[in-house]
Protein backbone atom coordinates (compact mmCIF):
# COMPACT_ATOMS: atom_id res chain seq x y z
CA UNK A 1 0.00 0.00 0.00
CA UNK A 2 1.68 3.21 -1.12
CA UNK A 3 1.19 6.79 -2.14
CA UNK A 4 2.20 6.92 -5.80
CA UNK A 5 1.62 9.57 -8.45
CA UNK A 6 0.51 7.48 -11.43
CA UNK A 7 -1.00 10.53 -13.17
CA UNK A 8 2.17 12.61 -13.14
CA UNK A 9 2.49 12.49 -16.93
CA UNK A 10 -0.86 14.22 -17.49
CA UNK A 11 -0.50 17.80 -18.77
CA UNK A 12 -1.23 20.37 -16.07
CA UNK A 13 -4.71 21.86 -16.40
CA UNK A 14 -4.94 25.66 -16.48
CA UNK A 15 -7.66 26.81 -14.09
CA UNK A 16 -9.15 30.26 -13.68
CA UNK A 17 -10.20 29.83 -10.05
CA UNK A 18 -11.69 33.31 -9.72
CA UNK A 19 -13.83 32.88 -12.85
CA UNK A 20 -15.15 29.53 -11.59
CA UNK A 21 -15.83 30.99 -8.13
CA UNK A 22 -17.69 33.99 -9.57
CA UNK A 23 -19.78 31.85 -11.92
CA UNK A 24 -20.66 29.13 -9.43
CA UNK A 25 -24.25 29.03 -8.22
CA UNK A 26 -26.59 26.28 -7.00
CA UNK A 27 -28.06 25.76 -10.47
CA UNK A 28 -24.66 25.26 -12.12
CA UNK A 29 -23.64 22.86 -9.34
CA UNK A 30 -26.88 20.89 -9.71
CA UNK A 31 -26.37 20.59 -13.48
CA UNK A 32 -22.71 19.57 -13.07
CA UNK A 33 -23.73 16.84 -10.63
CA UNK A 34 -25.89 15.25 -13.31
CA UNK A 35 -22.64 14.29 -15.13
CA UNK A 36 -24.36 14.88 -18.44
CA UNK A 37 -23.54 16.79 -21.62
CA UNK A 38 -23.04 20.10 -19.80
CA UNK A 39 -20.53 18.60 -17.36
CA UNK A 40 -18.35 17.03 -20.05
CA UNK A 41 -18.85 19.19 -23.11
CA UNK A 42 -20.59 22.38 -21.95
CA UNK A 43 -18.90 25.63 -20.89
CA UNK A 44 -15.98 25.39 -18.41
CA UNK A 45 -18.18 26.75 -15.61
CA UNK A 46 -20.08 23.44 -15.66
CA UNK A 47 -17.14 21.02 -15.62
CA UNK A 48 -14.56 19.90 -18.16
CA UNK A 49 -15.43 22.54 -20.76
CA UNK A 50 -15.06 19.94 -23.54
CA UNK A 51 -13.65 16.44 -23.12
CA UNK A 52 -12.28 14.92 -26.31
CA UNK A 53 -9.79 12.14 -26.92
CA UNK A 54 -6.30 13.55 -27.42
CA UNK A 55 -4.02 10.72 -26.30
CA UNK A 56 -3.07 12.39 -23.02
CA UNK A 57 -3.81 9.18 -21.08
CA UNK A 58 -1.25 7.11 -23.03
CA UNK A 59 1.70 7.88 -20.69
CA UNK A 60 -0.57 7.37 -17.66
CA UNK A 61 -1.66 4.01 -19.07
CA UNK A 62 2.02 3.06 -19.47
CA UNK A 63 2.67 4.02 -15.84
CA UNK A 64 -0.27 1.93 -14.64
CA UNK A 65 0.80 -1.11 -16.67
CA UNK A 66 4.36 -0.87 -15.35
CA UNK A 67 3.38 -0.13 -11.75
CA UNK A 68 1.05 -3.13 -11.48
CA UNK A 69 3.01 -5.43 -13.82
CA UNK A 70 -0.07 -5.87 -16.01
CA UNK A 71 0.17 -8.51 -18.73
CA UNK A 72 -1.97 -9.60 -21.71
CA UNK A 73 -4.96 -11.59 -20.54
CA UNK A 74 -5.23 -9.83 -17.20
CA UNK A 75 -8.51 -8.04 -16.45
CA UNK A 76 -8.65 -4.40 -15.34
CA UNK A 77 -11.61 -2.27 -14.26
CA UNK A 78 -11.68 1.54 -14.51
CA UNK A 79 -14.32 2.80 -12.07
CA UNK A 80 -15.67 6.20 -13.13
CA UNK A 81 -14.21 5.72 -16.60
CA UNK A 82 -16.09 8.69 -18.14
CA UNK A 83 -15.76 8.38 -21.95
CA UNK A 84 -13.41 5.42 -21.64
CA UNK A 85 -10.26 7.14 -22.90
CA UNK A 86 -8.04 5.38 -20.34
CA UNK A 87 -9.74 2.05 -21.07
CA UNK A 88 -8.80 2.53 -24.75
CA UNK A 89 -5.23 3.59 -23.96
CA UNK A 90 -4.56 0.77 -21.49
CA UNK A 91 -5.47 -1.72 -24.22
CA UNK A 92 -3.36 0.17 -26.72
CA UNK A 93 -0.20 0.20 -24.59
CA UNK A 94 -0.69 -3.42 -23.48
CA UNK A 95 -2.31 -5.37 -26.32
CA UNK A 96 -4.27 -8.31 -24.98
CA UNK A 97 -5.05 -6.63 -21.67
CA UNK A 98 -8.79 -6.97 -20.99
CA UNK A 99 -9.97 -3.57 -19.76
CA UNK A 100 -13.50 -2.59 -18.78
CA UNK A 101 -15.09 0.57 -17.43
CA UNK A 102 -18.11 1.64 -15.44
CA UNK A 103 -19.52 5.13 -15.07
CA UNK A 104 -22.74 6.62 -13.76
CA UNK A 105 -22.99 8.93 -16.79
CA UNK A 106 -24.95 7.50 -19.70
CA UNK A 107 -23.88 10.59 -21.67
CA UNK A 108 -20.17 9.75 -21.18
CA UNK A 109 -20.64 6.06 -21.94
CA UNK A 110 -22.57 6.78 -25.10
CA UNK A 111 -19.88 9.19 -26.30
CA UNK A 112 -16.93 6.81 -25.94
CA UNK A 113 -14.53 5.76 -28.73
CA UNK A 114 -16.01 2.93 -30.84
CA UNK A 115 -13.24 0.51 -29.83
CA UNK A 116 -14.39 0.45 -26.19
CA UNK A 117 -18.16 0.71 -26.64
CA UNK A 118 -18.70 -2.96 -25.74
CA UNK A 119 -16.46 -2.66 -22.69
CA UNK A 120 -18.20 0.14 -20.80
CA UNK A 121 -21.29 -0.16 -18.64
CA UNK A 122 -23.44 2.45 -17.01
CA UNK A 123 -23.71 1.98 -13.26
CA UNK A 124 -23.05 3.27 -9.78
CA UNK A 125 -19.75 2.45 -8.08
CA UNK A 126 -21.48 1.80 -4.76
CA UNK A 127 -22.89 -1.38 -6.28
CA UNK A 128 -20.60 -2.82 -8.95
CA UNK A 129 -22.30 -5.28 -11.33
CA UNK A 130 -19.34 -7.67 -11.25
CA UNK A 131 -18.45 -10.91 -9.45
CA UNK A 132 -16.11 -11.23 -6.50
CA UNK A 133 -12.40 -11.17 -7.49
CA UNK A 134 -13.27 -10.72 -11.18
CA UNK A 135 -10.44 -8.25 -11.88
CA UNK A 136 -6.67 -8.38 -11.49
CA UNK A 137 -6.50 -4.61 -10.98
CA UNK A 138 -9.03 -1.86 -10.30
CA UNK A 139 -8.52 1.89 -10.61
CA UNK A 140 -10.80 4.81 -9.70
CA UNK A 141 -9.49 8.21 -10.74
CA UNK A 142 -11.18 11.34 -9.40
CA UNK A 143 -14.46 9.57 -8.79
CA UNK A 144 -14.91 8.64 -5.15
CA UNK A 145 -14.92 12.22 -3.83
CA UNK A 146 -18.19 12.68 -5.74
CA UNK A 147 -19.91 10.53 -3.11
CA UNK A 148 -20.92 11.20 0.48
CA UNK A 149 -18.45 9.75 3.02
CA UNK A 150 -20.59 6.69 3.77
CA UNK A 151 -20.99 5.97 0.05
CA UNK A 152 -17.23 6.34 -0.47
CA UNK A 153 -16.80 3.48 2.00
CA UNK A 154 -19.40 1.39 0.14
CA UNK A 155 -17.62 2.03 -3.16
CA UNK A 156 -14.22 1.12 -1.68
CA UNK A 157 -15.66 -2.12 -0.31
CA UNK A 158 -17.00 -2.88 -3.77
CA UNK A 159 -13.62 -2.19 -5.36
CA UNK A 160 -11.95 -4.49 -2.82
CA UNK A 161 -14.62 -7.16 -3.47
CA UNK A 162 -14.21 -7.29 -7.26
CA UNK A 163 -10.39 -7.17 -7.19
CA UNK A 164 -8.43 -10.40 -6.67
CA UNK A 165 -5.29 -8.67 -5.34
CA UNK A 166 -3.99 -5.46 -3.81
CA UNK A 167 -3.51 -3.96 -7.31
CA UNK A 168 -5.91 -1.09 -6.68
CA UNK A 169 -5.36 2.62 -7.22
CA UNK A 170 -7.55 5.46 -5.99
CA UNK A 171 -7.01 9.15 -6.75
CA UNK A 172 -9.18 11.68 -4.92
CA UNK A 173 -9.46 15.39 -4.18
CA UNK A 174 -7.37 16.55 -1.25
CA UNK A 175 -5.35 19.53 -0.03
CA UNK A 176 -2.17 19.77 2.00
CA UNK A 177 -2.79 23.08 3.79
CA UNK A 178 -5.49 25.69 4.41
CA UNK A 179 -4.53 27.76 1.36
CA UNK A 180 -4.93 24.74 -0.94
CA UNK A 181 -8.22 23.95 0.80
CA UNK A 182 -9.54 27.45 0.08
CA UNK A 183 -8.55 27.20 -3.59
CA UNK A 184 -10.23 23.79 -3.76
CA UNK A 185 -13.45 25.10 -2.21
CA UNK A 186 -13.55 27.96 -4.71
CA UNK A 187 -13.12 25.51 -7.60
CA UNK A 188 -15.12 22.46 -6.57
CA UNK A 189 -18.41 21.62 -8.30
CA UNK A 190 -19.23 17.97 -7.80
CA UNK A 191 -17.17 16.67 -4.86
CA UNK A 192 -19.19 15.75 -1.80
CA UNK A 193 -16.52 14.27 0.46
CA UNK A 194 -13.03 15.71 0.54
CA UNK A 195 -10.41 15.95 3.24
CA UNK A 196 -6.77 16.36 4.12
CA UNK A 197 -4.71 13.20 3.44
CA UNK A 198 -5.03 12.11 7.07
CA UNK A 199 -8.83 12.08 6.75
CA UNK A 200 -8.71 10.01 3.59
CA UNK A 201 -6.19 7.59 5.08
CA UNK A 202 -8.46 7.18 8.10
CA UNK A 203 -11.33 6.29 5.75
CA UNK A 204 -9.14 3.86 3.76
CA UNK A 205 -8.22 2.18 7.05
CA UNK A 206 -11.86 1.87 8.12
CA UNK A 207 -12.61 -0.39 5.14
CA UNK A 208 -9.27 -2.24 5.12
CA UNK A 209 -8.21 -0.79 1.75
CA UNK A 210 -4.77 -2.16 0.87
CA UNK A 211 -4.26 -0.59 -2.53
CA UNK A 212 -2.37 2.52 -3.61
CA UNK A 213 -3.55 6.11 -3.75
CA UNK A 214 -2.74 9.67 -4.74
CA UNK A 215 -4.23 13.13 -4.32
CA UNK A 216 -5.64 15.59 -6.83
CA UNK A 217 -4.68 19.02 -5.56
CA UNK A 218 -6.23 22.01 -7.29
CA UNK A 219 -3.76 24.74 -8.19
CA UNK A 220 -4.24 27.94 -10.17
C1 LIG B 1 -13.83 13.99 -12.65
S2 LIG B 1 -14.56 12.74 -13.63
C3 LIG B 1 -13.19 11.61 -13.75
C4 LIG B 1 -13.23 10.79 -15.00
C5 LIG B 1 -11.99 9.93 -15.25
N6 LIG B 1 -11.85 8.89 -14.27
C7 LIG B 1 -10.77 10.81 -15.26
O8 LIG B 1 -9.95 10.72 -14.34
O9 LIG B 1 -10.64 11.59 -16.20
C10 LIG B 1 -15.64 11.93 -12.52
C11 LIG B 1 -16.36 10.76 -13.15
O12 LIG B 1 -17.02 10.02 -12.13
C13 LIG B 1 -18.29 9.62 -12.61
N14 LIG B 1 -19.12 9.32 -11.44
C15 LIG B 1 -19.60 10.19 -10.54
N16 LIG B 1 -20.30 9.55 -9.60
C17 LIG B 1 -20.25 8.23 -9.91
C18 LIG B 1 -20.77 7.05 -9.31
N19 LIG B 1 -21.52 7.11 -8.20
N20 LIG B 1 -20.52 5.86 -9.89
C21 LIG B 1 -19.79 5.79 -11.03
N22 LIG B 1 -19.27 6.88 -11.65
C23 LIG B 1 -19.49 8.08 -11.08
C24 LIG B 1 -18.73 10.81 -13.45
O25 LIG B 1 -19.75 10.51 -14.36
C26 LIG B 1 -17.42 11.19 -14.14
O27 LIG B 1 -17.24 10.46 -15.33
pLDDT in tens, 89-112: 999 999 999 999 999 999 999 999
* Ligand 1 atom with the shortest distance to the CA of 81: 6
Whole-angstrom distance, CA of residue 119 vs CA of residue 155:
20
Find the mean pLDDT for residues 192-203. Answer: 98
Question: Given the DSSP bridges, would you call strands 120-122 and 98-103 parallel, antiparallel or unpaired?
Answer: parallel
Number of H helices, E strands in the chain: 9, 6
103 lines ligand 1 (CB under 6 A): yes
Q: Rounded mean pLDDT of the chain?
A: 97
Distance 145 CA to ligand 1 centre (A): 9
> Whole-prediction pTM value?
0.97
Whole-angstrom distance, CA of residue 102 vs CA of residue 84:
9
Distance 35 CA to ligand 1 centre (A): 8
Contact between residue 94 and residue 72 where contact means Cβ atoms under 8 Å apart: yes
pLDDT in tens, 137-177: 999 999 999 999 999 999 999 999 999 999 999 999 999 99
pLDDT in tens, 111-145: 999 999 999 999 999 999 999 999 999 999 999 99
Amino acid sequence: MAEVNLLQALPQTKRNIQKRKDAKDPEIIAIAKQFGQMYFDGPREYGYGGYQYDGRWIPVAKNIVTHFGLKPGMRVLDVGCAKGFLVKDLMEVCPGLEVFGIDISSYAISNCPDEVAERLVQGNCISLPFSNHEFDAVIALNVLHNLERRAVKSALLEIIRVCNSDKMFIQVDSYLDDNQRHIFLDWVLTAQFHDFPAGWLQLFGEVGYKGDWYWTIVTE
